[in-house]
Amino acid sequence: MDKEDKAVNFVADDGVAAADGVKRGRRVTNRESNRRDGGGDKREKEQSEWEEKIIQVRRVTKVVKGGKKLSFRAVVAVGNGKGQVGIGVGKASEVVSAIQKGVVDAKKSLISVPLVGATIPHQIIGKTGSSRILLRPAAKGTGVIAGGAARAILELAGVGDVLSKSLGARSPLNVARATVDGLKNLRTFEEAARLRGVSIRQLFA
Protein backbone atom coordinates (compact mmCIF):
# COMPACT_ATOMS: atom_id res chain seq x y z
CA MET A 1 0.00 0.00 0.00
CA ASP A 2 1.51 3.33 -1.01
CA LYS A 3 1.43 6.63 0.83
CA GLU A 4 -1.65 7.93 -0.99
CA ASP A 5 -3.71 4.91 0.10
CA LYS A 6 -2.65 5.44 3.72
CA ALA A 7 -3.86 9.03 3.63
CA VAL A 8 -7.44 8.09 2.69
CA ASN A 9 -8.43 6.84 6.14
CA PHE A 10 -7.11 9.88 8.03
CA VAL A 11 -8.29 13.44 8.43
CA ALA A 12 -5.67 15.98 9.39
CA ASP A 13 -6.42 17.99 12.50
CA ASP A 14 -4.19 20.94 11.75
CA GLY A 15 -3.55 20.45 8.03
CA VAL A 16 0.24 20.02 8.57
CA ALA A 17 1.87 17.36 6.41
CA ALA A 18 4.45 15.00 7.83
CA ALA A 19 7.93 14.58 6.46
CA ASP A 20 6.87 11.72 4.16
CA GLY A 21 4.17 13.91 2.58
CA VAL A 22 1.22 12.17 4.28
CA LYS A 23 -1.13 14.26 6.43
CA ARG A 24 -1.44 12.74 9.87
CA GLY A 25 -4.55 13.01 12.00
CA ARG A 26 -7.27 11.05 13.73
CA ARG A 27 -9.09 8.16 12.11
CA VAL A 28 -12.65 8.94 10.96
CA THR A 29 -15.33 6.51 12.14
CA ASN A 30 -18.45 5.55 10.20
CA ARG A 31 -20.64 7.46 12.64
CA GLU A 32 -18.71 10.68 12.11
CA SER A 33 -18.75 10.27 8.35
CA ASN A 34 -22.52 9.82 8.38
CA ARG A 35 -22.85 12.90 10.55
CA ARG A 36 -20.73 14.92 8.14
CA ASP A 37 -22.74 13.67 5.19
CA GLY A 38 -25.91 15.11 6.73
CA GLY A 39 -27.52 11.89 7.91
CA GLY A 40 -29.27 13.72 10.77
CA ASP A 41 -30.72 16.55 8.67
CA LYS A 42 -34.08 14.83 8.30
CA ARG A 43 -34.40 14.31 12.05
CA GLU A 44 -33.49 17.96 12.73
CA LYS A 45 -36.13 19.18 10.26
CA GLU A 46 -38.80 17.08 11.95
CA GLN A 47 -37.87 18.46 15.36
CA SER A 48 -37.61 22.07 14.17
CA GLU A 49 -41.18 21.97 12.83
CA TRP A 50 -42.52 22.08 16.41
CA GLU A 51 -41.92 25.08 18.61
CA GLU A 52 -42.10 24.91 22.39
CA LYS A 53 -42.97 27.59 24.91
CA ILE A 54 -42.81 27.26 28.67
CA ILE A 55 -45.90 28.85 30.19
CA GLN A 56 -45.16 28.20 33.87
CA VAL A 57 -42.72 26.34 36.10
CA ARG A 58 -43.71 25.88 39.75
CA ARG A 59 -42.00 24.27 42.68
CA VAL A 60 -44.30 21.84 44.46
CA THR A 61 -43.72 20.71 48.04
CA LYS A 62 -45.28 17.46 49.18
CA VAL A 63 -45.25 16.46 52.82
CA VAL A 64 -44.31 12.80 53.19
CA LYS A 65 -43.25 10.57 56.03
CA GLY A 66 -39.85 11.77 57.14
CA GLY A 67 -40.01 15.30 55.76
CA LYS A 68 -40.87 17.21 52.61
CA LYS A 69 -40.39 16.14 49.00
CA LEU A 70 -39.65 18.88 46.45
CA SER A 71 -40.63 18.53 42.82
CA PHE A 72 -41.37 20.79 39.85
CA ARG A 73 -44.42 21.18 37.62
CA ALA A 74 -43.98 22.60 34.12
CA VAL A 75 -46.79 23.78 31.85
CA VAL A 76 -45.59 23.62 28.25
CA ALA A 77 -47.28 24.53 24.96
CA VAL A 78 -46.26 23.00 21.63
CA GLY A 79 -47.30 24.13 18.15
CA ASN A 80 -46.14 24.26 14.54
CA GLY A 81 -47.54 27.69 13.63
CA LYS A 82 -49.75 26.08 10.96
CA GLY A 83 -52.94 25.42 12.87
CA GLN A 84 -51.83 22.73 15.33
CA VAL A 85 -51.25 23.36 19.02
CA GLY A 86 -51.32 21.41 22.27
CA ILE A 87 -50.72 21.94 25.96
CA GLY A 88 -49.15 19.53 28.43
CA VAL A 89 -48.12 19.27 32.08
CA GLY A 90 -44.99 17.53 33.31
CA LYS A 91 -43.93 16.75 36.86
CA ALA A 92 -40.46 15.65 37.95
CA SER A 93 -37.80 16.22 40.57
CA GLU A 94 -35.79 18.32 38.09
CA VAL A 95 -36.88 21.25 35.94
CA VAL A 96 -35.45 19.85 32.70
CA SER A 97 -37.18 16.50 33.17
CA ALA A 98 -40.47 18.21 33.97
CA ILE A 99 -40.24 20.28 30.78
CA GLN A 100 -39.46 17.21 28.68
CA LYS A 101 -42.46 15.36 30.14
CA GLY A 102 -44.63 18.40 29.45
CA VAL A 103 -43.56 18.45 25.79
CA VAL A 104 -44.40 14.77 25.39
CA ASP A 105 -47.79 15.30 27.04
CA ALA A 106 -48.52 18.33 24.84
CA LYS A 107 -47.81 16.41 21.62
CA LYS A 108 -50.34 13.77 22.71
CA SER A 109 -53.13 16.37 22.93
CA LEU A 110 -52.67 18.32 19.71
CA ILE A 111 -55.72 20.01 18.19
CA SER A 112 -56.34 21.48 14.74
CA VAL A 113 -57.36 25.14 14.56
CA PRO A 114 -59.40 26.37 11.56
CA LEU A 115 -57.89 29.63 10.34
CA VAL A 116 -59.22 32.23 7.93
CA GLY A 117 -56.08 33.87 6.68
CA ALA A 118 -54.27 34.81 9.88
CA THR A 119 -57.31 35.10 12.14
CA ILE A 120 -60.07 32.89 13.53
CA PRO A 121 -63.42 32.43 11.73
CA HIS A 122 -65.77 33.72 14.45
CA GLN A 123 -66.05 34.91 18.05
CA ILE A 124 -66.03 32.31 20.80
CA ILE A 125 -65.62 31.97 24.57
CA GLY A 126 -63.40 29.17 25.87
CA LYS A 127 -64.08 27.78 29.34
CA THR A 128 -62.10 25.62 31.73
CA GLY A 129 -62.94 25.55 35.42
CA SER A 130 -63.49 29.12 36.55
CA SER A 131 -61.39 30.57 33.73
CA ARG A 132 -63.05 32.04 30.67
CA ILE A 133 -61.44 33.75 27.70
CA LEU A 134 -63.06 35.69 24.88
CA LEU A 135 -61.55 35.29 21.39
CA ARG A 136 -62.61 37.58 18.56
CA PRO A 137 -61.41 37.80 14.94
CA ALA A 138 -59.42 40.90 14.05
CA ALA A 139 -58.49 42.81 10.90
CA LYS A 140 -55.22 42.18 9.11
CA GLY A 141 -52.32 43.87 10.86
CA THR A 142 -53.93 43.95 14.30
CA GLY A 143 -51.57 41.40 15.78
CA VAL A 144 -52.11 39.14 18.75
CA ILE A 145 -53.85 41.21 21.41
CA ALA A 146 -53.39 38.81 24.31
CA GLY A 147 -51.12 38.26 27.23
CA GLY A 148 -49.57 35.49 29.26
CA ALA A 149 -50.63 31.94 28.56
CA ALA A 150 -53.24 32.91 25.95
CA ARG A 151 -50.64 34.70 23.84
CA ALA A 152 -48.33 31.70 23.84
CA ILE A 153 -51.12 29.35 22.72
CA LEU A 154 -52.35 31.68 19.97
CA GLU A 155 -48.89 32.33 18.56
CA LEU A 156 -47.99 28.64 18.48
CA ALA A 157 -51.29 27.90 16.71
CA GLY A 158 -50.38 30.32 13.92
CA VAL A 159 -53.00 32.96 14.74
CA GLY A 160 -51.59 36.32 13.67
CA ASP A 161 -54.53 38.68 14.21
CA VAL A 162 -56.90 38.19 17.14
CA LEU A 163 -58.47 40.03 20.06
CA SER A 164 -58.76 38.30 23.43
CA LYS A 165 -59.84 39.08 26.96
CA SER A 166 -59.60 36.97 30.09
CA LEU A 167 -62.95 37.07 31.90
CA GLY A 168 -62.48 34.69 34.83
CA ALA A 169 -59.73 33.25 36.99
CA ARG A 170 -56.22 34.00 35.74
CA SER A 171 -54.39 30.81 36.63
CA PRO A 172 -51.90 30.27 33.76
CA LEU A 173 -52.78 26.59 33.37
CA ASN A 174 -56.55 27.20 33.34
CA VAL A 175 -56.24 30.18 30.99
CA ALA A 176 -54.15 28.09 28.60
CA ARG A 177 -56.66 25.24 28.73
CA ALA A 178 -59.54 27.68 28.21
CA THR A 179 -57.78 29.10 25.14
CA VAL A 180 -57.28 25.60 23.74
CA ASP A 181 -60.95 24.84 24.46
CA GLY A 182 -62.04 27.92 22.53
CA LEU A 183 -59.80 27.11 19.56
CA LYS A 184 -60.98 23.48 19.54
CA ASN A 185 -64.65 24.52 19.33
CA LEU A 186 -64.13 26.85 16.36
CA ARG A 187 -65.98 25.85 13.19
CA THR A 188 -65.30 26.73 9.57
CA PHE A 189 -68.01 28.24 7.37
CA GLU A 190 -68.33 24.94 5.50
CA GLU A 191 -68.97 23.03 8.74
CA ALA A 192 -71.56 25.57 9.92
CA ALA A 193 -73.38 25.41 6.57
CA ARG A 194 -73.36 21.61 6.59
CA LEU A 195 -74.76 21.46 10.14
CA ARG A 196 -77.57 23.84 9.18
CA GLY A 197 -78.28 22.03 5.93
CA VAL A 198 -77.78 25.11 3.75
CA SER A 199 -75.21 26.30 1.25
CA ILE A 200 -72.47 28.79 2.07
CA ARG A 201 -74.21 31.40 -0.11
CA GLN A 202 -77.41 31.02 1.92
CA LEU A 203 -75.38 31.20 5.12
CA PHE A 204 -74.25 34.75 4.31
CA ALA A 205 -77.53 35.83 2.70
DSSP annotation of 137 reads: E
- pLDDT, position 64: 92
pLDDT tens-digit profile of 41-63? 555 555 578 899 999 999 999 99
Residue pair 185/124 in contact (Cβ under 8 Å)? The answer is yes
CATH tag, 113-189: 3.30.230.10
- pLDDT, position 101: 96
pLDDT tens-digit profile of 11-36? 444 444 444 555 455 555 555 555 55
Is the predicted pLDDT of residue 106 greater than 70, yes or no? yes
Task: Return the higher-pLDDT residue of 73 and 195.
Answer: 73
Return the percent helix, strand and coil in the chain, to nearest 5.
35, 35, 30
- pLDDT, position 199: 82
pLDDT tens-digit profile of 85-104? 999 999 999 999 999 999 99
pTM: 0.73
The one-letter code for the residue type at 64 is V
49-111, what's its fold? Double Stranded RNA Binding Domain (3.30.160)
CA 15 – CA 32 distance, rounded (Å): 18
* Domain segments of the chain as ranges: 49-111, 113-189
- pLDDT, position 7: 43
Instruction: Please count the other Cβ atoms lying within 10 Å of the Cβ belonging to residue 134.
Output: 16
**Residue 139: band (very low, low, confident or very high) from pLDDT cuts 50, 70, 90:** very high
Task: Return the higher-pLDDT residue of 93 and 196.
Answer: 93
